[in-house]
Every structure is written in structure tokens, then in C-alpha cells.
Amino acid sequence: MEEIKSKIKQILEAKQIEIKKLSLLAGDASNRKYFHYYSSKKSYVIMYDNDQKNIKKFIKVTKILKNFVVVPSIIYDFSKRSILVIENFGPTKYAEIMTKKNKKEIYMLAVDAIFNIQKIRNPDLPKYSLNMFIEESNLFFDWYINYLKTSELNLLKKKFNKLFKSCFSYIETTPQVFVHRDFHIDNLFYLHKLKSRKCGLIDYQDAVIGPCAYDLVSLTQDARIDVPKQLEYELINYFLKPNFKIKRENFMFSYNLLAIQRHMKVLGIFCRLSERDKKDQYLKHLPRVKKMLHENLKKEKFEKFYSLLSPLLSYDRD
């Protein structure tokens, strides 16, 4: 960590940029690191990522989003040196300011942000393909259910992939839009000083073109916090009201199928973070994610998914 801080200081000093204080802000599930950078007048956030591809994607998607929602301004671009100095939204992350009193209001604002990003027409982004969905759900078998023999795992993967492919048309027939892809409370900020667009977004570099329900699922079935069922229903209705051309039955099937796939992916990723990267803090969320997966599997029309996956959830990894 000190080596990274030293590198940042050298770059800023070489550009004659004042450094009053530099402190670690946070890391995330990737190898990306964030720092607080203070000058005498203002504070910023420094994003450090030694993967040039990721930084380029962040810059590209920032440009796509900035006319539709609030995203952090890029103050200094030192991407060739793995560093971006970006706007600091302050201590207003959803996870930190949410209360019983403001919960519904700020969740509605988050759905408004989803509306806005879905207005973007033909952004130059990859499509959320069937193969991408399959690769993600395979993480469940590779990392969460990795106590089975390889032959058994491969058979389970094959059965699930065949089943998922048979239902993929439901996902494809819903509107294909801009998808943030990681739309949860740790990536949302309440910007109360703004008159409109009060929900600020971060961590959007993996954005794709995909199903309209995806970001809503990420928000309402969040791995990191319990969202009351009544609020989830209200947010679904709020989303569907202006999208009246979408058949509710098709949307809800897609919504639940995406929830199953996403929860499988998250269980795999959180176990991988622990076992491979020694980031055990994500394990505390396993019981919540497993519970949400089980609830979606019990929905009508998902009997085959339930028969295949439910026995695997009885294994206690919590």
C-alpha cells in the first residue's frame, strides 16, 4: 500500500499539484484502490487500478453517462500511470445515510437514475450475451459448490446451462438497455444539494447493453442489505408504470430468472474473494444471498431450477 501511495505522490508532485494529505479510502471486490486526496482547498478521490483496460472503460463510460445521470467528474487523467483523480461525492453513500425515514425516497431516486440511464440510445458497449451469463453462473459451481468431484460439478453445470439457455429468450425479449451491472447501495450516493438527479453513481466501468430488469434486481435484491419485500414490490410497480408496454408476466419471469443467475454469481464471487484473495469480509453476506436465491427458486415456473439447485443450498458454507 505504501508503494502505491508513494507512486501517487510522485505523479502529483511532478505535475506540481498540491498534496496536503493522502489516505486510503477503500478497496473493493476488485484489485482497484481508492484514496482520499486533500489539497488546501478541496478533497478528491484517487482511483488506482493497474489494469489499463479497466481505467479506459471507466473513462469511456463516464463520458457516456455524464449527460444522463450524475457521475464523478474526472479532474486529472493520469491513466497511463494507473491513476485518475475524480470528484469526491462526500460521505453520502446510500449504505451510510439510509434510515427508515428516508429509505423509500432514496430508493425511488435510484430507480429514477435507472430510468435515466435507460434513455441512452445505442451506447458503444458490449452486449450482455448468453455466454457472459453462463460464465458468471458457473462461478457458483466452481467456488461455492467446489466440494464436489469435478465430474459431478461439470454435470451440474451442464444441466443448469441447458436449463438457463432454454429460458434465455424471456430475457432477450424484454427491452435491451444500458445496464450499470453493479447497481447496489455501495455504488450509489445521495446528492441532497442538487435540485434534480440526486442519485450519484460510481463503479460503472463494466456496463453493458442488457435486459431492462437487471439493475432493478441488483437494487431490490441487494447482497449487502435486506430490502423489505413491500418496498421491493413498490419499486417494481414504480419501474413498470412508465414501462406499460412491457408485459408484466414476461418482465417478472425475466426479473426472477436474472435474480437467480445474479445470486449464483455473487455466491461464487464472494467465496472466490475469500479463498483466492483472502478477502473474508464478504462471507457475512452469504446467508442473505442464499436466502434470496432460495426465495426466487420457489417462484412459480421455476420448478426445474428449484429441483436442480435447492439441494445444493442445504450445504452450510455460512
Enclosing domain of residue 37:
2-86
Q: Could you identify the residue written with the cell 457472459?
A: 132
- Residue 318 domain-assigned (yes or no): no
Q: Are residues 217 and 276 in the same domain?
A: yes
- Per the structure, how many domains does the chain have? 2
For the stretch 173-210, pLDDT in tens is 999 999 999 999 999 999 988 888 999 999 999 999 99
For the stretch 287-307, pLDDT in tens is 999 999 999 999 999 999 999
Helix residue spans in 174-212 (DSSP H): none
Q: Is pLDDT above 60 for 116?
A: yes
Q: Are residues 15 and 77 in the same domain?
A: yes
For the stretch 33-72, pLDDT in tens is 899 888 777 899 999 998 889 999 999 999 999 999 999 9
- Residue 201 domain-assigned (yes or no): yes
Q: Are residues 44 and 157 in the same domain?
A: no
Q: Select from 63, 86, 109 the last residue of a domain.
A: 86
Whether this model's pTM surpasses 0.75: yes
Q: Are residues 11 and 120 in the same domain?
A: no
Q: Are residues 142 and 46 in the same domain?
A: no
**In this structure, are residues 290 and 318 in contact, taking their beta carbons and an 8 Å threshold?**
yes
Residues in the chain: 318
- Residue 196 domain-assigned (yes or no): yes
Q: Is pLDDT above 60 for 318?
A: no
Question: What average pLDDT is seen over the chain?
Answer: 93
- Residue 227 domain-assigned (yes or no): yes
Q: Are residues 11 and 136 in the same domain?
A: no
For the stretch 68-86, pLDDT in tens is 999 999 999 999 999 999 9
Q: Are residues 23 and 144 in the same domain?
A: no
Taking CA atoms, 114 is separated from 43, 174, 216, 217, 304, in Å, by 28, 15, 8, 11, 31
Q: Are residues 151 and 266 in the same domain?
A: yes
Q: Are residues 148 and 40 in the same domain?
A: no
Q: Are residues 138 and 244 in the same domain?
A: yes
Q: Select from 55, 86, 117 the last residue of a domain.
A: 86
Please tell me whether residue 310 adopts helix, strand or coil conformation: helix
Closest CA to 200 of 65, 59, 70: 70
For the stretch 238-268, pLDDT in tens is 999 999 899 999 999 999 999 999 999 999 9
- Residue 187 domain-assigned (yes or no): yes
Residue-level pLDDT at 131: 98
Which CATH number belongs to the domain containing residue 62 in this structure?
A: 3.30.200.20
- Residue 117 domain-assigned (yes or no): yes
Residue-level pLDDT at 316: 65
Q: Are residues 220 and 301 in the same domain?
A: yes
Share of the chain above pLDDT 70, in %: 97
Q: Determine the Cα–Cα distance for residues 274 and 280; give it in Å rounded to an integer.
A: 5
Residue-level pLDDT at 254: 97
Over residues 4-9, the mean pLDDT reads 84
Residue-level pLDDT at 39: 79
Segments of the chain assigned E as strands: 21-27, 33-38, 43-48, 74-78, 83-86, 176-179, 188-190, 199-201, 208-211
For the stretch 120-130, pLDDT in tens is 999 999 999 99
Q: Select from 86, 111, 133 the last residue of a domain.
A: 86
Q: Are residues 16 and 134 in the same domain?
A: no
Which CATH number belongs to the domain containing residue 234 in this structure?
A: 3.90.1200.10
Residue-level pLDDT at 196: 85
- Residue 244 domain-assigned (yes or no): yes
